Amino acid sequence: MITQYSGISPKSDLLLLQRLSEKLKERSFLHINSTREGGGVAEILQRMVPLLNDMGLDTRWEIIEGDERFFDITKKIHNAFQGNLETITDDMWHHFFEVNKRNADRLNLDADAVLIHDPQPAPLIEFKKKGKWIWRCHIDVSRPIKEIYNHMEQYCERYDAAIFSVAKFAQAMPISEFIITPSIDPLGEKNKDLTKEEIEETAERLQIPLDRPIILQVSRFDRFKDPVGVIKAYKIAKKYNDCILVLAGSPATDDPEGEVVLNEVKEYAADTPDIHILLLPAFSDKDINALQRMATVILQKSLKEGFGLTVSEAMWKRKPIIGGATGGIPLQILHGVTGFLVHSIDGAAFRIRQLLSNPDMAKTIGESGREYVRKNFLITRQIRDYLSVWYSIEDENKGKSVLEL
């Protein structure tokens, strides 16, 4: 399978992957997160795990299970990591730990390397048996609520290493820390090439007219993604450029606020018939692919963002992208080169109008974005980085550079 990326991914990434897989062949690698559907982490793991197995690593992916109260608590932790004031009582912390304890009894945690994704399963470190354990934080923790972050730190600092998506997210910890950006799979259902007929079939089925420019945002229905702000920007732009807006997203089983935010968005958009709100079922990758390809301008107007893979997805499809200047989005959008960064609703509206009125500019930005993603944000690079971290923290290889492979 990995050979399919020849001619797509940079040759240097593929060569290093070959060497790393030879060094780690037949070792066991375990990923644990909180959901198999919805959100960037699950999307990456769906593609990454088969590739790792194809490379000769014994790779598994497990999820922790919890009740509604558990996911309410973890949503509060998530929000607090991103700077929202939240209250978590001692009883709530106890429930959070007990759910993880029950999962530790249920799951097989034996592996040579264990990668724990985000706060939900972080307490599983208390039940470590062997191997190297790495905590992978996908969240913007540049300005967390200290009380809640400090409570979580008692677990996180017990790992062998921590990985963050952006340098400014990294917190001072007594363990090795690494920066690894997320990635997209160019050969996956969400990013592979589609025919014109496939795109038109999707538009007809989802009742999206193709007679006018399409403004699109694909994201969870989450206040941090600012869907209401997108609608406000669209309403301003529409006064000058006739276009339609599509807001598309899938539910995530670990996000109890999604339905509430979706209802808020529907209510705010009720008076505008050219706004299409799509709640897509899980694993609607082909539909999202088609929506992104039929779009004229794509937004990711986040107020807080761990990384925002929809930005790279849009750029891979040669689409001009407008993104909030937060989290990992500025790592993907080089302002004025691969897209535009915005700080306000008015700024987003201005850039929408600019791109709709300048198709040559939109095309140039789209081409630049495609090449930037190819060099920096494909899944082969992320696998390379994960295996490099694992190799670098192995006891027998202390002091040995990955470059010595």
Q: Does position 40 have pLDDT exceeding 90, yes or no?
A: no
Can you read off the two tokens belonging to residue 146? 């200290």
Domain ranges of the chain: 2-183+378-404, 196-376
Residues contacting 284, CB < 8 A, separation 6+: 250
Rg value, the chain, Cα: 21
Predicted pLDDT of residue 70: 96
Q: Which of 134, 92, 133, 139 is nearest to 119 (CA)?
A: 139
Domain 196-376 indexed as CATH 3.40.50.300: no
User: Per-residue confidence at 172, pLDDT binned at 50, 70, 90?
Assistant: confident
Residues contacting 125, CB < 8 A, separation 6+: 116, 133, 135, 155, 156, 158, 159
- Average pLDDT value over all residues in the chain: 93
Q: What is the pLDDT of residues 292-319, one digit of tens each?
A: 999 999 999 999 888 999 999 999 999 9
**If you ran DSSP here, which 8-state letter would residue 404 be given?**
G
Predicted pLDDT of residue 244: 97
**For the whole model, what pTM was predicted?**
0.88
Predicted pLDDT of residue 36: 87
CB of 57 within 8 A of CB of 24? yes
Q: What is the pLDDT of residues 189-209, one digit of tens each?
A: 999 999 999 999 999 999 999
User: Per-residue confidence at 405, pLDDT binned at 50, 70, 90?
Assistant: very low
Say how many residues make up the chain. 405
For residue 242, the SS3 value is coil
How many Å apart are CA 163 and CA 167, to the nearest integer? 10
What number does CATH give the domain 2-183+378-404?
A: 3.40.50.2000
CB of 272 within 8 A of CB of 232? no
User: Per-residue confidence at 402, pLDDT binned at 50, 70, 90?
Assistant: very low
Asked if 2-183+378-404 and 196-376 have one fold, the answer is yes
